[in-house]
Amino acid sequence: MPHALDAAKEDRRQRAVESLGLQLDRPEERFDRIARLAHLVFDVPMSSVTVLDGDRALFPGMYGLPGRELPRVDCLCDETHAGGALMIVEDASLDERFAHLPAVTDLGIRFYAAQPILDPAGNVVGTFAIYDTRPRRLDAERLTAFDDMAAWAQQELVASTEMTQATWVQSSMLPARALSSDSWTINGMCLPSLAVGGDFYDYGIAQGVAHLGLGDVMGKGTGAALVGAGVRSALRGTHSAVVAGVDLGVTVTQVARSLMADLERTESFVTLFEAAIDLDDGYLRYVDAGSGLCLVVRPDGEVVRLGGSDAPIGVLPDDHWGELDVQLEPGDRVLMFSDGLLDLVDEQVRWWEPIGALVAAHDDVNSLLAGIALLARERTPLDDVTAVAVYYAPSPAPLSPSQEDSP
Amino acid sequence: MTEFHVDTTASGIGVVRPEGRLNMVAARQLKSVLADLVAGGTHRIVVDLADTSFIDSSGLGALIGGVKSTRQQGGDLRIARPTEAVLTVLDLTNLTKILRPRDTVDGAFDD
């Protein structure tokens, strides 16, 4: 049995590890380098950068250990993962948590020090550890050095300057504020997973028409984000045509043609849901390019899925896209979202039921988006979670005849 | 962790069977498995999805990349026996036109 972390915490930890996107099974020089240096700095025969993957403990970086994988239950670091804090054990053979482990009985480990490695959301995704066959302690100076090296390991494992920078650039490109009028409220959000991702959304109003789009570029990383930024600008370029009433199938097909070469080169494709809503009468036109992730939730709780049969952009060079439509009535709510949200609900086959219920349960756009953010915090998303919500205010209730007027 | 079983049938069709979650990390592996097959002269490939519990857009990307590279060589990549979860994703993304699921691995190239 792995250490008795509760199931939700363990699920979250495993997802956080997976979202790092590391190839854990092979040695990585940048982690080995840290372990080698730790061997010199602390004069210890063994050191590791440890990551737990399911019931295995892996050492993507190590010095002096006999192998790169252990059953998790046999790994000293399982305890540090569970505790989530710096652990220093002067003599493991005298500690009942560790004395029985093969690392102690067979390898002869006595001294053990480990610092948890955290991702930006605070999940423990690994440990940096040193081991010695003699009981010992760390003086204040060494303890500081140990903290420094753990910080280095954390930097290597979870972050790079490029990624942090790209995340900032990406989020600064999204619409900054909600749009609202007497009858309509529109707002969106994007919660990037650990790495910068390929989701984007956009919305704008002109000439009484709201033009909205939400897309997801295959894969993650700076490459996907750059492709996403390109698609977003191309769609923006069609804004004036769309609000003037040009068929969305025509504009999306144009956008797809202009992006095809870039998408071919980067071996990528894009799923897109794009819509234009006439704010006077609630007539909604849309194109579904392989997204299928848009729901209309009616005041009586009925959930209508908006989806077509057109493929994502970038799959086939001579594809084309068609416009579909639906009539919105006062009180209707629309939610378009990326597949990162699908991953957060338990019902994978009839996913529109829990997500429709979520929409029905929130009476305004911002509380719905907060509800989705909460879901994402509870279950570390593997993918970006992006959503745009449109609420059409219910028409004022007809005045009921007052008591005085009753016969 | 996703594993890949790779076989070649008597008629020269490559069969790849990913086990587990076909996510970003596994998609990279699948991509290189498919590229190796194509480079080695196997231009007809069946990806058997019977043991694939989950697929995300990166996994789809690896399959589409395989469709493109095999077709360029006059061959094709076909998928067989997708699980319900995988079928849901294929339906959502409207990719069943390009990746039409086949009922069996052996019969995937019968038409």
CATH architecture label of A7-159: 2-Layer Sandwich (3.30)
Give yes or no for A317 touching B (CB within 8 A): no
Number of folded domains that form chain B: 1
Eight-state DSSP code of residue A79: H
Tokens representing A164 are 């942090």
Among A267, A291, A349, select the one facing B61 at the smallest CB separation. Answer: A267
The alpha carbon of A113 is separated from its chain's Cα centroid by a whole number of angstroms, namely 32
Task: Please give the pLDDT value at position A166.
Answer: 57
Residues 29-58 of A with CB under 8 A from B: 53-54
Domain boundaries, chain A: 7-159, 163-392
Q: What homologous superfamily does CATH list for A163-392?
A: PPM-type phosphatase domain (3.60.40.10)
Compute the distance between CA of residue A271 and CA of residue A285 in angstroms, rounded to an integer.
Answer: 17
Q: How many Cα atoms occupy the beta-carbon half-sphere of A369 within 13 Å?
A: 19
In a domain, B25, yes or no: yes
Do A278 and A325 meet the contact criterion of CB atoms below 8 Å apart? no
Residue B59's domain comprises 3-102
In a domain, B108, yes or no: no
Q: Which residues of chain A have pLDDT under 50?
A: 1-2, 161-162, 402-407
Do A115 and A146 meet the contact criterion of CB atoms below 8 Å apart? yes
Non-local (6+) Cβ contacts of A70 within 8 A are A56, A57, A103
Among B28, B84, B94, select the one facing A290 at the smallest CB separation. Answer: B94
Task: Please give the pLDDT value at position A399.
Answer: 56
Write the DSSP string, A154-205: HHHHH--HHHHHHHHHHHHTS--S-EE-SSEEEEEEEE--SS-EEEEEEEEE
Compute the distance between CA of residue A365 and CA of residue A210 in angstroms, rounded to an integer.
Answer: 16
Tokens representing A225 are 């984000």
What number is the average pLDDT over the span B51-68? 90
Do A306 and A337 meet the contact criterion of CB atoms below 8 Å apart? no
Q: What is the mean pLDDT of chain B?
A: 91
Task: Please give the pLDDT value at position A220.
Answer: 65
Q: With an 8 Å Cβ cutoff, are B61 and A54 in contact?
A: no
In B5-56, which residue ranges form alpha helices assigned H by DSSP? Answer: 24-39
In a domain, B107, yes or no: no
